[in-house]
């Protein structure tokens, strides 16, 4: 999905609840900071893997350092699983990506699982009217907002960081 060039990142990707920020630090420090921020905001981290390491191991090709941190809030997850009759479990957990985009610049990117489920038709028929669905969005959304606020308030928060390139 390409961003609308006349909109901010947040406006362009609001329909999937995307958020991003940049940290000026090395990759491993950024991963630790992201894990801490989300844990402090009430999420667990049941999974973690590095697609860049996996690709390098299997193909020998180098990609920018990237870590996928699977996060989950059991309270929101329970509601989402119930509301989708278990179908959402195919996409559990939610993921936060830490991607190296410069020597000491890391992009932190998140997409809201409930919002993606709405886009692909796995949410309740009328998610706007579902009290339970909105509760799950509120639980997860407030935690994500708290984690990003903590990252943006940290001493390594980047100002004016470059957007990642496609090369």
Q: What is the pLDDT of residues 26-49, one digit of tens each?
A: 999 999 999 999 999 999 988 999
Q: Is residue 36 part of a domain?
A: yes
How do residues 63-98 score in pLDDT, each as one tens digit?
999 999 999 999 999 999 999 999 988 888 889 999
Q: Is residue 35 part of a domain?
A: yes
| Strand pairing class (44-49; 105-110) | unpaired
Residue with tokens 């049941």: 46
Q: Is residue 110 part of a domain?
A: yes
Residue 118 in contact with residue 127, Cβ under 8 Å? yes
How do residues 117-166 score in pLDDT, each as one tens digit?
988 888 888 888 889 999 999 999 999 999 999 999 999 999 865 544 44
**Domain range for 90:** 15-153
The DSSP code sequence of 35-68 is HHHHHHTT-EEEEEE-HHHHHHHHH------EEE
Q: Which of 157, 150, 152, 162 is nearest to 64 (CA)?
A: 162
Q: Is residue 31 part of a domain?
A: yes
CA distance 99 to 67: 6
C-alpha distance across the termini of the chain, in Å: 17
Select the more confidently predicted residue: 9 or 144.
144
Select the more confidently predicted residue: 13 or 129.
129
Residue 21 in contact with residue 157, Cβ under 8 Å? yes
pLDDT at 13 over 80: no
Half-sphere exposure of 132 (CA within 13 A, CB side): 13
Q: Is residue 132 part of a domain?
A: yes
The CATH number of the domain holding residue 41 is 3.30.310.70
């Amino acid at each position: 999905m390409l961003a609308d060039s006349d909109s901010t990142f947040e406006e362009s990707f609001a329909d999937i609840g995307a958020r991003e920020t940049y940290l000026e630090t090395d990759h491993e420090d950024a991963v630790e900071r992201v894990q801490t921020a989300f844990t402090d905001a009430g999420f667990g981290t049941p999974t973690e893997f590095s697609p860049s390491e996996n690709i390098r191991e299997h193909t020998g090709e180098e990609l920018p350092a990237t870590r996928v941190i699977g996060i989950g809030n059991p309270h929101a997850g329970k509601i989402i699983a119930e509301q989708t009759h278990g179908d959402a479990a195919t996409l559990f957990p939610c993921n936060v990506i830490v991607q190296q985009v410069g020597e000491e610049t890391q992009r932190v990117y998140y997409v809201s699982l409930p919002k993606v489920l709405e886009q692909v038709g796995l949410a309740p028929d009328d998610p706007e009217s579902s009290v339970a669905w909105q509760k799950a969005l509120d639980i997860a959304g407030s935690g994500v907002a708290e984690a990003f606020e903590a990252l943006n308030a940290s001493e390594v928060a980047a100002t004016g960081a470059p957007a990642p390139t496609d090369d």
